[in-house]
Amino acid sequence: MSIKLGDTAPDFNAESSLGNLNFYEFLGDSWGILFSHPADYTPVCTTELGKTSQLKPEFDKRNTKVLALSVDGIDNHKGWISDINETQNTEVEFPIIADQDKKVSELYDFIHPNASATLTVRSLLIIDPNKKVRLIITYPASTGRNFTEILRVLDSLQLVDGYGVATPVDWKDGEDVIIPPAVSQEDAEKKFTKGVKVIKPYLRYTPQPNK
């Protein structure tokens, strides 16, 4: 199954480091991040899961739950979590799925045969409270993810949903945003009371509405 932007994220039941879980029940009304790892006890993944754990307050601020996946088993997960806590100076509190039968990996298209016939690629999905897939990023197994970018995209998606704007290149929280072309100039001036800066009829900026 190939997952695309805008698709409904498939539900599943799985065994995890925190016990059996149902994906939809785990997410509830939160945003979600589901991300895959090639295997336990791998160096790049160890740093990633440590960073994810350290960023828990940032994910909490954004009403976002994280869920990792590896094709190894629960015993390996528990031993690996101990290593992560030790080496990354953290306490991993989010679940890691044990996907030994690769059912979830195949459901979410995490195995790319030309990269590896058995191991998952380093994929990450952002899923909104309506269970729609809003972002898909896939890295090679050798390259760690950029969590600054993941948080930036979360901020952008939540701002877009809340205020009907778009965000320009390299945008960061607090900076000016773009008014979509579908919004007329008259409506833009009524809606965005902080001001409308017109560069071109199709390129208009306004201060971030919630700042």
Task: Reduce the DSSP state of residue 198 to 3 states and report it.
Answer: strand
Q: Which tokens hold the place of 45?
A: 């993944």
The type of residue at 65 is K
Task: Reduce the DSSP state of residue 135 to 3 states and report it.
Answer: strand
Instruction: Give the whole-angstrom CA distance, residue 194 versus residue 209.
Output: 8
- Residue 51 backbone dihedrals phi, psi, to 5 degrees: -65, -40
Q: How many CB atoms lie within 10 A of CB 50?
A: 19
Assess contact for 67 and 78: CB atoms under 8 A: no
**Out of 3, 45, 98, 177, which one is annotated catalytic?**
45
Strand bridging mode 31-37 / 64-70: parallel
Q: HSE (CB half, 13 Å, CA atoms) of 178?
A: 16
Annotated catalytic residue 45: yes
Q: Which tokens hold the place of 37?
A: 């790892």
- The catalytic residues are 45
